[in-house]
Amino acid sequence: MAPGIIEKGIGFVRKQQSPFKVNMTKNVVQNFSLGLTQQYQSIYITALGATALELGYVASIGGIAFALITLPLGVLADKYGIRKILMAALLLMAGGYAIFGSATTWEMTAAALVLTTIAWEMTMNVCPMICGASLQSVERVTGMQLCDTVAALPRLFAPVVAAFLITQFGGLTVSGIRPLYWIQVGGILVSFGIIWRFFSNPPRITGSRGITIGSGVGRVFKEGIHVKRWLLYVTANMFPNYMAIYIPLYAKVIRGAQPYTLGLMDSTYWLVVVLLALPVGLSADRFGRKNLIMLMCPLYAVGLMVLAFVPGELTLIIVGLLTGFIMLAGVTSGSISVELVPKELLGSWYGIIGIARSLASIVSPLIGGLIWNSFGPVYVLYFLAATQILKLAILWTMPASTKYS
Protein backbone atom coordinates (compact mmCIF):
# COMPACT_ATOMS: atom_id res chain seq x y z
CA MET A 1 0.00 0.00 0.00
CA ALA A 2 1.47 3.36 -1.07
CA PRO A 3 2.80 5.68 1.71
CA GLY A 4 0.46 8.46 0.54
CA ILE A 5 -2.58 6.24 0.95
CA ILE A 6 -1.40 5.15 4.40
CA GLU A 7 -0.90 8.77 5.43
CA LYS A 8 -4.38 9.71 4.18
CA GLY A 9 -5.84 6.70 5.99
CA ILE A 10 -4.20 7.72 9.28
CA GLY A 11 -5.47 11.27 8.83
CA PHE A 12 -8.97 10.00 8.12
CA VAL A 13 -9.02 7.86 11.28
CA ARG A 14 -7.63 10.64 13.47
CA LYS A 15 -10.50 13.00 12.66
CA GLN A 16 -13.20 10.42 13.43
CA GLN A 17 -15.09 10.01 16.68
CA SER A 18 -13.73 7.75 19.42
CA PRO A 19 -16.33 4.93 19.04
CA PHE A 20 -15.25 4.37 15.42
CA LYS A 21 -11.56 4.15 16.40
CA VAL A 22 -12.10 1.88 19.41
CA ASN A 23 -14.34 -0.45 17.41
CA MET A 24 -11.68 -0.67 14.71
CA THR A 25 -9.08 -1.65 17.33
CA LYS A 26 -11.42 -4.29 18.73
CA ASN A 27 -11.97 -5.66 15.24
CA VAL A 28 -8.24 -6.09 14.69
CA VAL A 29 -7.88 -8.36 17.73
CA GLN A 30 -11.18 -10.14 17.11
CA ASN A 31 -10.42 -10.84 13.45
CA PHE A 32 -7.03 -12.40 14.19
CA SER A 33 -8.74 -14.68 16.69
CA LEU A 34 -11.54 -15.65 14.29
CA GLY A 35 -9.05 -16.19 11.46
CA LEU A 36 -7.34 -18.99 13.36
CA THR A 37 -10.23 -21.43 12.95
CA GLN A 38 -12.63 -20.16 10.29
CA GLN A 39 -11.00 -21.97 7.38
CA TYR A 40 -10.75 -25.22 9.35
CA GLN A 41 -14.06 -25.29 11.25
CA SER A 42 -16.02 -27.43 8.78
CA ILE A 43 -13.07 -29.83 8.62
CA TYR A 44 -12.96 -29.98 12.44
CA ILE A 45 -16.69 -30.75 12.70
CA THR A 46 -16.52 -33.47 10.04
CA ALA A 47 -13.41 -34.88 11.75
CA LEU A 48 -15.57 -35.27 14.85
CA GLY A 49 -17.84 -37.52 12.76
CA ALA A 50 -20.38 -35.26 11.02
CA THR A 51 -21.40 -35.84 7.40
CA ALA A 52 -21.84 -32.93 4.95
CA LEU A 53 -25.60 -32.93 5.64
CA GLU A 54 -25.10 -33.10 9.41
CA LEU A 55 -22.66 -30.20 9.05
CA GLY A 56 -25.53 -28.26 7.48
CA TYR A 57 -27.83 -29.17 10.38
CA VAL A 58 -25.27 -28.00 12.92
CA ALA A 59 -24.61 -24.74 11.10
CA SER A 60 -28.32 -23.94 10.78
CA ILE A 61 -29.05 -24.37 14.50
CA GLY A 62 -27.23 -21.16 15.36
CA GLY A 63 -29.37 -19.29 12.85
CA ILE A 64 -32.56 -20.59 14.48
CA ALA A 65 -31.37 -19.39 17.88
CA PHE A 66 -30.46 -15.95 16.59
CA ALA A 67 -33.77 -15.58 14.74
CA LEU A 68 -35.56 -15.74 18.11
CA ILE A 69 -33.63 -12.84 19.65
CA THR A 70 -32.49 -10.60 16.78
CA LEU A 71 -35.40 -8.15 16.82
CA PRO A 72 -35.37 -7.56 20.60
CA LEU A 73 -31.59 -7.06 20.39
CA GLY A 74 -32.00 -4.34 17.80
CA VAL A 75 -34.54 -2.50 19.93
CA LEU A 76 -32.34 -2.93 23.01
CA ALA A 77 -29.50 -1.32 21.09
CA ASP A 78 -31.80 1.63 20.31
CA LYS A 79 -32.96 1.92 23.92
CA TYR A 80 -29.77 1.32 25.91
CA GLY A 81 -26.92 1.86 23.49
CA ILE A 82 -24.63 -0.64 21.80
CA ARG A 83 -21.76 -0.88 24.31
CA LYS A 84 -23.58 -3.42 26.46
CA ILE A 85 -24.62 -5.39 23.39
CA LEU A 86 -21.00 -5.58 22.20
CA MET A 87 -19.71 -6.76 25.58
CA ALA A 88 -22.41 -9.42 25.87
CA ALA A 89 -21.64 -10.60 22.33
CA LEU A 90 -17.94 -11.01 23.03
CA LEU A 91 -18.57 -12.99 26.21
CA LEU A 92 -20.95 -15.30 24.33
CA MET A 93 -18.36 -15.68 21.57
CA ALA A 94 -15.64 -16.66 24.05
CA GLY A 95 -17.97 -19.20 25.65
CA GLY A 96 -18.87 -20.70 22.28
CA TYR A 97 -15.27 -21.19 21.22
CA ALA A 98 -14.48 -22.73 24.62
CA ILE A 99 -17.16 -25.34 23.87
CA PHE A 100 -15.55 -25.96 20.46
CA GLY A 101 -12.24 -26.52 22.23
CA SER A 102 -13.87 -28.99 24.59
CA ALA A 103 -16.01 -30.87 22.05
CA THR A 104 -15.62 -34.65 21.92
CA THR A 105 -18.52 -35.30 19.49
CA TRP A 106 -19.86 -33.36 16.53
CA GLU A 107 -23.20 -32.93 18.33
CA MET A 108 -21.44 -30.80 20.97
CA THR A 109 -20.44 -28.32 18.30
CA ALA A 110 -24.13 -27.47 17.82
CA ALA A 111 -24.15 -25.72 21.21
CA ALA A 112 -20.92 -23.94 20.30
CA LEU A 113 -22.39 -22.74 17.02
CA VAL A 114 -25.52 -21.45 18.77
CA LEU A 115 -23.40 -19.18 20.97
CA THR A 116 -20.89 -18.10 18.33
CA THR A 117 -23.57 -17.45 15.69
CA ILE A 118 -25.63 -15.35 18.10
CA ALA A 119 -22.51 -13.46 19.16
CA TRP A 120 -21.28 -12.90 15.60
CA GLU A 121 -24.67 -11.68 14.43
CA MET A 122 -24.91 -9.33 17.41
CA THR A 123 -21.60 -7.73 16.46
CA MET A 124 -22.66 -7.62 12.79
CA ASN A 125 -25.84 -5.79 13.78
CA VAL A 126 -24.17 -3.10 15.87
CA CYS A 127 -20.94 -2.59 13.90
CA PRO A 128 -22.63 -0.75 10.99
CA MET A 129 -24.65 1.22 13.55
CA ILE A 130 -21.36 2.62 14.84
CA CYS A 131 -20.31 3.64 11.33
CA GLY A 132 -23.78 4.97 10.56
CA ALA A 133 -23.70 7.26 13.61
CA SER A 134 -20.00 8.19 13.53
CA LEU A 135 -19.35 8.81 9.82
CA GLN A 136 -20.70 11.41 7.42
CA SER A 137 -22.62 10.10 4.41
CA VAL A 138 -20.12 11.48 1.88
CA GLU A 139 -17.33 9.39 3.42
CA ARG A 140 -19.28 6.51 4.93
CA VAL A 141 -18.23 3.78 2.46
CA THR A 142 -14.63 5.02 2.66
CA GLY A 143 -14.74 4.79 6.45
CA MET A 144 -16.36 1.36 6.47
CA GLN A 145 -13.89 0.00 3.92
CA LEU A 146 -10.95 1.57 5.78
CA CYS A 147 -12.13 -0.08 8.98
CA ASP A 148 -12.30 -3.38 7.13
CA THR A 149 -8.83 -2.81 5.64
CA VAL A 150 -7.22 -2.31 9.03
CA ALA A 151 -9.27 -5.04 10.70
CA ALA A 152 -8.49 -7.47 7.87
CA LEU A 153 -4.70 -7.16 8.22
CA PRO A 154 -4.53 -9.89 10.91
CA ARG A 155 -6.58 -12.17 8.65
CA LEU A 156 -3.63 -12.23 6.22
CA PHE A 157 -1.46 -13.95 8.81
CA ALA A 158 -3.88 -15.81 11.08
CA PRO A 159 -4.67 -18.67 8.61
CA VAL A 160 -0.98 -19.29 7.91
CA VAL A 161 -0.17 -19.17 11.64
CA ALA A 162 -3.04 -21.62 12.12
CA ALA A 163 -1.69 -23.89 9.37
CA PHE A 164 1.72 -23.94 11.08
CA LEU A 165 0.17 -24.75 14.46
CA ILE A 166 -2.08 -27.42 12.98
CA THR A 167 0.91 -29.08 11.34
CA GLN A 168 2.76 -29.04 14.68
CA PHE A 169 -0.22 -30.42 16.58
CA GLY A 170 -0.92 -33.31 14.21
CA GLY A 171 -2.48 -32.09 10.93
CA LEU A 172 -6.10 -31.75 9.82
CA THR A 173 -7.41 -33.86 12.69
CA VAL A 174 -9.38 -33.12 15.84
CA SER A 175 -6.24 -33.01 17.99
CA GLY A 176 -4.47 -30.86 15.40
CA ILE A 177 -7.19 -28.19 15.24
CA ARG A 178 -8.53 -28.21 18.82
CA PRO A 179 -5.77 -26.06 20.49
CA LEU A 180 -6.55 -23.19 18.13
CA TYR A 181 -9.92 -22.71 19.75
CA TRP A 182 -8.34 -22.07 23.15
CA ILE A 183 -5.98 -19.48 21.66
CA GLN A 184 -9.06 -17.95 20.06
CA VAL A 185 -10.83 -17.67 23.44
CA GLY A 186 -7.93 -15.62 24.78
CA GLY A 187 -8.07 -13.21 21.85
CA ILE A 188 -11.82 -12.70 22.19
CA LEU A 189 -11.40 -11.87 25.88
CA VAL A 190 -8.81 -9.23 24.95
CA SER A 191 -11.39 -7.74 22.56
CA PHE A 192 -13.88 -7.65 25.43
CA GLY A 193 -11.36 -5.76 27.55
CA ILE A 194 -10.90 -3.13 24.84
CA ILE A 195 -14.65 -2.45 24.65
CA TRP A 196 -15.10 -2.48 28.43
CA ARG A 197 -12.26 -0.03 29.03
CA PHE A 198 -12.38 2.38 26.10
CA PHE A 199 -15.70 2.24 24.20
CA SER A 200 -18.55 4.71 24.67
CA ASN A 201 -21.81 4.86 22.71
CA PRO A 202 -21.79 7.16 19.66
CA PRO A 203 -23.49 10.51 20.43
CA ARG A 204 -26.37 9.87 18.04
CA ILE A 205 -27.03 6.36 19.36
CA THR A 206 -26.97 6.87 23.11
CA GLY A 207 -30.42 5.36 23.58
CA SER A 208 -33.98 6.16 22.49
CA ARG A 209 -36.00 4.86 25.41
CA GLY A 210 -39.35 5.70 23.85
CA ILE A 211 -38.87 3.09 21.13
CA THR A 212 -40.55 -0.28 21.61
CA ILE A 213 -40.41 -3.36 19.41
CA GLY A 214 -43.80 -2.58 17.88
CA SER A 215 -43.20 1.13 17.31
CA GLY A 216 -39.68 0.60 15.99
CA VAL A 217 -40.71 -2.05 13.48
CA GLY A 218 -43.77 -0.08 12.45
CA ARG A 219 -41.77 3.08 11.80
CA VAL A 220 -39.12 1.18 9.82
CA PHE A 221 -41.71 -0.15 7.37
CA LYS A 222 -43.58 3.15 7.26
CA GLU A 223 -40.66 5.56 6.97
CA GLY A 224 -38.02 3.33 5.36
CA ILE A 225 -37.11 3.32 1.67
CA HIS A 226 -37.87 0.03 -0.16
CA VAL A 227 -37.08 -1.90 3.01
CA LYS A 228 -39.03 -5.04 2.00
CA ARG A 229 -37.14 -5.21 -1.27
CA TRP A 230 -33.86 -4.70 0.55
CA LEU A 231 -34.62 -7.55 2.93
CA LEU A 232 -34.82 -9.88 -0.09
CA TYR A 233 -31.45 -8.56 -1.19
CA VAL A 234 -29.96 -9.15 2.27
CA THR A 235 -31.23 -12.73 2.30
CA ALA A 236 -29.68 -13.50 -1.10
CA ASN A 237 -26.53 -11.62 -0.10
CA MET A 238 -26.02 -13.82 2.95
CA PHE A 239 -26.11 -17.18 1.17
CA PRO A 240 -22.38 -17.05 0.24
CA ASN A 241 -21.54 -16.21 3.87
CA TYR A 242 -23.38 -19.14 5.41
CA MET A 243 -22.59 -21.67 2.70
CA ALA A 244 -18.90 -20.72 2.79
CA ILE A 245 -18.34 -23.66 5.17
CA TYR A 246 -18.51 -25.92 2.12
CA ILE A 247 -15.73 -24.15 0.18
CA PRO A 248 -12.75 -25.31 2.31
CA LEU A 249 -14.45 -28.69 2.69
CA TYR A 250 -14.71 -28.91 -1.12
CA ALA A 251 -11.06 -27.87 -1.45
CA LYS A 252 -9.96 -30.60 0.97
CA VAL A 253 -12.27 -33.45 -0.08
CA ILE A 254 -12.44 -32.89 -3.84
CA ARG A 255 -9.19 -31.04 -4.55
CA GLY A 256 -7.02 -32.63 -1.83
CA ALA A 257 -5.90 -29.31 -0.31
CA GLN A 258 -3.39 -29.44 2.54
CA PRO A 259 -3.30 -27.16 5.65
CA TYR A 260 -1.00 -24.52 4.15
CA THR A 261 -3.00 -24.35 0.92
CA LEU A 262 -6.22 -23.88 2.88
CA GLY A 263 -4.51 -21.21 4.95
CA LEU A 264 -3.25 -19.39 1.87
CA MET A 265 -6.74 -19.51 0.32
CA ASP A 266 -8.06 -17.62 3.33
CA SER A 267 -5.08 -15.26 3.44
CA THR A 268 -5.47 -14.26 -0.20
CA TYR A 269 -9.20 -13.75 0.36
CA TRP A 270 -8.32 -11.14 2.96
CA LEU A 271 -5.43 -9.78 0.89
CA VAL A 272 -8.00 -8.53 -1.62
CA VAL A 273 -9.82 -6.79 1.21
CA VAL A 274 -6.64 -5.16 2.53
CA LEU A 275 -5.40 -3.98 -0.88
CA LEU A 276 -8.70 -2.86 -2.38
CA ALA A 277 -11.04 -1.90 0.46
CA LEU A 278 -9.96 1.74 0.59
CA PRO A 279 -9.88 2.23 -3.22
CA VAL A 280 -13.29 0.53 -3.46
CA GLY A 281 -14.65 2.78 -0.71
CA LEU A 282 -13.37 5.95 -2.40
CA SER A 283 -14.69 4.77 -5.77
CA ALA A 284 -18.09 3.85 -4.32
CA ASP A 285 -18.46 7.26 -2.65
CA ARG A 286 -17.52 8.95 -5.92
CA PHE A 287 -19.03 6.77 -8.67
CA GLY A 288 -21.90 5.06 -6.89
CA ARG A 289 -22.24 2.07 -4.58
CA LYS A 290 -24.50 0.09 -6.87
CA ASN A 291 -22.00 0.32 -9.74
CA LEU A 292 -19.16 -1.07 -7.63
CA ILE A 293 -21.27 -3.97 -6.33
CA MET A 294 -22.30 -4.81 -9.90
CA LEU A 295 -18.62 -5.09 -10.82
CA MET A 296 -17.44 -7.12 -7.82
CA CYS A 297 -20.06 -9.86 -7.42
CA PRO A 298 -19.37 -11.50 -10.82
CA LEU A 299 -15.70 -11.88 -9.79
CA TYR A 300 -16.83 -13.98 -6.83
CA ALA A 301 -18.81 -16.22 -9.19
CA VAL A 302 -15.75 -16.58 -11.46
CA GLY A 303 -13.77 -17.72 -8.40
CA LEU A 304 -16.32 -20.45 -7.74
CA MET A 305 -16.05 -21.67 -11.34
CA VAL A 306 -12.25 -21.74 -11.08
CA LEU A 307 -12.62 -23.91 -7.97
CA ALA A 308 -14.97 -26.20 -9.88
CA PHE A 309 -13.12 -26.57 -13.18
CA VAL A 310 -9.48 -25.45 -13.09
CA PRO A 311 -7.07 -28.04 -11.64
CA GLY A 312 -3.84 -27.37 -9.77
CA GLU A 313 -2.72 -26.25 -6.31
CA LEU A 314 -2.02 -22.68 -7.40
CA THR A 315 -5.58 -22.21 -8.65
CA LEU A 316 -6.91 -22.69 -5.11
CA ILE A 317 -5.01 -19.57 -4.06
CA ILE A 318 -6.50 -17.72 -7.05
CA VAL A 319 -9.92 -18.86 -5.82
CA GLY A 320 -9.19 -17.12 -2.52
CA LEU A 321 -8.34 -13.89 -4.35
CA LEU A 322 -11.46 -13.88 -6.51
CA THR A 323 -13.90 -14.87 -3.76
CA GLY A 324 -12.56 -12.03 -1.60
CA PHE A 325 -14.53 -9.58 -3.73
CA ILE A 326 -17.73 -10.79 -2.06
CA MET A 327 -16.51 -9.25 1.20
CA LEU A 328 -15.89 -5.88 -0.47
CA ALA A 329 -19.33 -6.01 -2.08
CA GLY A 330 -20.91 -6.88 1.27
CA VAL A 331 -19.40 -3.89 3.09
CA THR A 332 -20.51 -1.59 0.27
CA SER A 333 -24.02 -3.06 0.55
CA GLY A 334 -23.94 -2.31 4.27
CA SER A 335 -23.46 1.39 3.57
CA ILE A 336 -26.69 1.31 1.56
CA SER A 337 -28.57 -0.33 4.46
CA VAL A 338 -27.61 2.52 6.80
CA GLU A 339 -29.28 5.11 4.56
CA LEU A 340 -32.68 3.44 4.14
CA VAL A 341 -34.16 4.46 7.53
CA PRO A 342 -33.86 7.37 10.01
CA LYS A 343 -30.78 7.05 12.22
CA GLU A 344 -32.77 6.76 15.43
CA LEU A 345 -34.30 3.54 14.02
CA LEU A 346 -31.01 1.86 13.08
CA GLY A 347 -31.26 -0.60 15.97
CA SER A 348 -34.77 -1.66 15.01
CA TRP A 349 -33.78 -1.78 11.33
CA TYR A 350 -30.76 -3.96 11.99
CA GLY A 351 -32.92 -6.17 14.17
CA ILE A 352 -35.21 -6.70 11.18
CA ILE A 353 -32.19 -7.24 8.93
CA GLY A 354 -31.01 -9.78 11.50
CA ILE A 355 -34.19 -11.79 10.88
CA ALA A 356 -33.38 -11.89 7.16
CA ARG A 357 -29.79 -12.85 7.94
CA SER A 358 -30.89 -15.53 10.37
CA LEU A 359 -33.29 -16.95 7.79
CA ALA A 360 -30.38 -17.25 5.37
CA SER A 361 -28.21 -18.78 8.09
CA ILE A 362 -30.88 -21.42 8.79
CA VAL A 363 -31.72 -22.51 5.27
CA SER A 364 -28.46 -22.01 3.35
CA PRO A 365 -26.31 -24.61 5.20
CA LEU A 366 -29.19 -27.10 4.93
CA ILE A 367 -29.55 -26.39 1.21
CA GLY A 368 -25.80 -26.80 0.83
CA GLY A 369 -25.81 -30.15 2.61
CA LEU A 370 -28.78 -31.42 0.60
CA ILE A 371 -27.20 -30.33 -2.69
CA TRP A 372 -23.86 -31.89 -1.70
CA ASN A 373 -25.48 -35.24 -0.85
CA SER A 374 -28.15 -35.36 -3.55
CA PHE A 375 -26.49 -33.85 -6.63
CA GLY A 376 -22.79 -33.63 -5.83
CA PRO A 377 -20.39 -31.13 -4.23
CA VAL A 378 -19.84 -29.07 -7.40
CA TYR A 379 -23.53 -28.15 -7.51
CA VAL A 380 -23.06 -26.24 -4.26
CA LEU A 381 -20.73 -23.93 -6.19
CA TYR A 382 -23.27 -23.57 -9.02
CA PHE A 383 -25.98 -22.64 -6.53
CA LEU A 384 -23.81 -19.99 -4.89
CA ALA A 385 -23.06 -18.44 -8.27
CA ALA A 386 -26.79 -18.33 -9.06
CA THR A 387 -27.52 -16.37 -5.86
CA GLN A 388 -25.39 -13.54 -7.24
CA ILE A 389 -27.64 -13.16 -10.28
CA LEU A 390 -30.72 -12.87 -8.05
CA LYS A 391 -29.00 -10.39 -5.76
CA LEU A 392 -27.89 -8.08 -8.55
CA ALA A 393 -31.35 -8.14 -10.13
CA ILE A 394 -32.79 -6.80 -6.86
CA LEU A 395 -30.00 -4.26 -6.45
CA TRP A 396 -30.73 -2.84 -9.89
CA THR A 397 -34.16 -1.65 -8.67
CA MET A 398 -32.84 0.22 -5.59
CA PRO A 399 -32.34 4.03 -5.62
CA ALA A 400 -28.77 5.37 -5.79
CA SER A 401 -29.38 7.67 -2.79
CA THR A 402 -32.18 8.46 -0.33
CA LYS A 403 -33.37 11.31 1.88
CA TYR A 404 -31.55 9.63 4.78
CA SER A 405 -28.17 9.78 3.02
pLDDT of the residue at 94: 96
pLDDT for residue 134 is more than 70: no
pLDDT for residue 126 is more than 70: yes
pLDDT for residue 206 is more than 50: no
pTM above 0.85, yes or no: no
Integer Cα distance of 34 and 93 in angstroms: 10
Q: What is the mean pLDDT of residues 110-121?
A: 86
Q: Which residues contact 314 (CB under 8 A, 6 or more apart)?
A: none
pLDDT of the residue at 90: 94
Integer Cα distance of 265 and 39 in angstroms: 9
Amino acid at residue number 276: L
pLDDT of the residue at 372: 94
pLDDT digits 0-9 by tens, 253-295:
999 888 889 999 989 998 888 888 778 777 777 777 888 888 8
pLDDT digits 0-9 by tens, 73-114:
666 666 667 788 889 899 999 999 999 999 999 999 988 988
pLDDT digits 0-9 by tens, 214-232:
666 788 888 878 888 999 9
Decide: helix, strand or coil at residue 312: coil
Integer Cα distance of 12 and 360 in angstroms: 35
∠56-61-62 over CA atoms, to 5°? 110
- Other beta carbons less than 10 A from residue 198's beta carbon: 14
pLDDT of the residue at 4: 57
Q: Which residues contact 218 (CB under 8 A, 6 or more apart)?
A: none
pLDDT for residue 172 is more than 60: yes
pLDDT of the residue at 133: 66
Category of 342 on φ-ψ map: left (φ > 0), alpha (ψ -120 to 50) or beta: beta
Asked which of 17-31, 233-247, 304-318 is least confident by mean pLDDT, the reply is: 17-31
Q: Is 75 in contact with 212 (CB distance < 8 Å)?
A: yes
Amino acid at residue number 131: C
pLDDT of the residue at 168: 92
pLDDT digits 0-9 by tens, 354-375:
788 878 888 888 899 999 999 9
- Dihedral (C-alpha) 352, 358, 359, 363: value to the nearest 10 degrees? 170
pLDDT digits 0-9 by tens, 11-68:
666 666 677 778 888 988 998 999 899 889 999 999 999 988 888 888 887 777 767 7
pLDDT digits 0-9 by tens, 343-355:
777 777 877 887 8
Q: What is the mean pLDDT of residues 195-204?
A: 80
pLDDT of the residue at 213: 54
- Other beta carbons less than 10 A from residue 354's beta carbon: 23
pLDDT for residue 211 is more than 60: no
Helices (H), strands (E): how many in the chain? 17, 0
pLDDT of the residue at 132: 65
pLDDT of the residue at 335: 76
Mean pLDDT for the chain overall: 83
**Helices 325-338, 289-309: inter-axial angle, 10-degree rounding:** 150
pLDDT for residue 244 is more than 80: yes
Question: How much of the chain, in percent, has pLDDT values that exceed 90?
Answer: 33
Within 13 Å, how many C-alpha atoms sit on residue 394's CB side?
17
Better-predicted residue by pLDDT, 155 or 331: 155
pLDDT for residue 207 is more than 50: no
pLDDT of the residue at 180: 95
pLDDT of the residue at 59: 81
Q: Is 24 in contact with 151 (CB distance < 8 Å)?
A: yes
pLDDT for residue 147 is more than 60: yes
pLDDT of the residue at 191: 93
254 CB burial (10 A radius; 0-12, 13-18, 19+): middle
Q: What is the mean pLDDT of residues 334-350?
A: 78
